[in-house]
Structure 1
Amino acid sequence: MARPSGSSTASTADRLRRAALTLFARHGYAAVSMRQIAAETGVQVGALYNHVADKQSLLAGLMHSHMAELLLALDAVALPDDDPVAALEAFTRFHIRFHSERPDEVFISYMELRNLSPANFAEIEALRGRYEARLGAILEAGAAQGRMHPEDAKLTALAIIAMLTGVTTWFRAGGRLSLVEIEARYWEMVRRLVAA
């Protein structure tokens, strides 16, 4: 039986991305060579360049995919327009849940920014800015209604995101607290932080 057109290429490209993701998260971008990615993927080094221009493009692509998925997933969350406190709680729970399922992507997206070229950094930073702005808008709406009191909405948004993202560094399923319990406790911390 003939293989569907493009299936081998798509499969190899997917294996390449997964191998790079695992290796970058385990060893760091700078320590990983294209030869290692090829070995992990099961192809010759030269064949990698049929799927990606270079290691930098691979890193930027992984980060771009993560941020694009994050923004799409956030768009699908019902964040109440008329209740910023409820919207902040929904954002908090969403952020923890989404990121806890993707620890390697999160690690790379935050720890490897320094290894992006200036052009790639600008592109990823713009996507991050869109996400941060969504939280900032919730905080500003809460402040406008007198239901929250962040001293600086942008800085508070960055602090909240850093705190919530940190869960991925230590959370393990089957630990002392379930993810739902962690979401509830972190929501209480976020609520107190903005005096909601």
Structure 2
Amino acid sequence: MTDTPPASAAKSSTISRRREAQFEALMEAAEKRIVAEGVGALKARDLAGDIGIALGGLYNIVADMDDLMLRLAQRTMGRLDAALEAGATVTDEPVAQLQAIALAYYDFARQNLQLWRALFEMRLKNPDLPEWNVAAQLGLFRHMNGPMARLMPDKSEMERTLVARTLFAAVHGIAVIGLEERLIAVPPQALAAQIRWLVRAACKDVAS
């Protein structure tokens, strides 16, 4: 087996850097369009024009529009994961920790409204999600593992996971309704108070 010729290696490195730059530009252009117009406005031809490539060149960067949207979701979930991580480190007291995580979720949704909505509004032609996307979704729940274990020490991991997901669904519902522009606006402070109350009430029930 021979080493790669220096010239070929340099060329491969240049191509790799160019593709990475194009990928980053594509992600930023897509996020900009989502923020401005919502995920339904994403069109391959528009995005290709945004970054100055031919339509066919777009599919040298991503496999198809499903791939594009899943990778956009991955970026958003990465930011959300960091926000939840920050919330989880506020305190070690389990109820307060779960409240902080829930509020971090709400704050992220409020501050990144269109990108957050896109996580739930993407319409994929192929419903079978890749493993890396599923893993990212499941990974968001890990921040609740510690406080749930302290609140429910005698319960199985499966039971704690079910309660954690139910609690997440309830917090998500408050966020969705509260941030829905067509309904009567609810001040952020009021929504935050509702979220704290919900988490406190749920924790009191599961710990009893």
Instruction: Flag whether TM exceeds 0.5 (same fold).
Output: yes
Amino acid at match of 1:161: F
Q: Normalization by structure 1: what TM-score?
A: 0.71
The answer as to 2:36 corresponding to 1:26 is no
Residues 166-188 of structure 1: per-residue CA shift (max 9 Å, x gap)? 31354168x64321221111210
Deviation at 1:142, TM superposition (A): 1.9
Unaligned runs of at least 5 residues, structure 1:
146-150
Q: What corresponds to 2:90 in structure 1?
A: 79
The structural deviation recorded for 1:54 is 2.2
Q: Is the 8 A contact 1:13 1:51 kept in 2?
A: no
Q: Count the aligned residue pairs.
A: 178
Return the match for 2:179 from 171, 177, 180. Answer: 171
Q: Cα offset for 1:155?
A: 1.5
Q: How many Å separate the matches in 2 of 1:192 and 1:87?
A: 14
Q: Are 1:65 and 2:75 counterparts?
A: yes
Structure 2 portions without partners, runs of 5+ = 1-16
Please give the alpha-carbon distance, in whole angstroms, between the structure 1 residues aligned to 2:118 and 2:28. Answer: 17
Mapped to 2, the partners of 1:35 and 1:113 lie a distance apart of 18
With normalisation by structure 2, the TM-score equals 0.68
Q: What are the superposed Cα offsets for residues 90-119 of structure 1, whole Å, 9 maximum, x if unpaired?
A: 112111111222232223323438655645
Instruction: Please give the alpha-carbon distance, in whole angstroms, between the structure 1 residues aligned to 2:61 and 2:36.
Output: 18
| Partner Cα separation in structure 1 for residue 73 and residue 136 of structure 2 | 10
The percentage of aligned residue pairs carrying the same residue is: 17
Matched, 1:157 2:157: no
Report the CA distance shift for 1:70/1:176 in structure 2 as closer, same or farther (over 3 A).
Answer: closer
Partner residue of 1:88 out of 98, 108, 130: 98
RMSD: 3.4
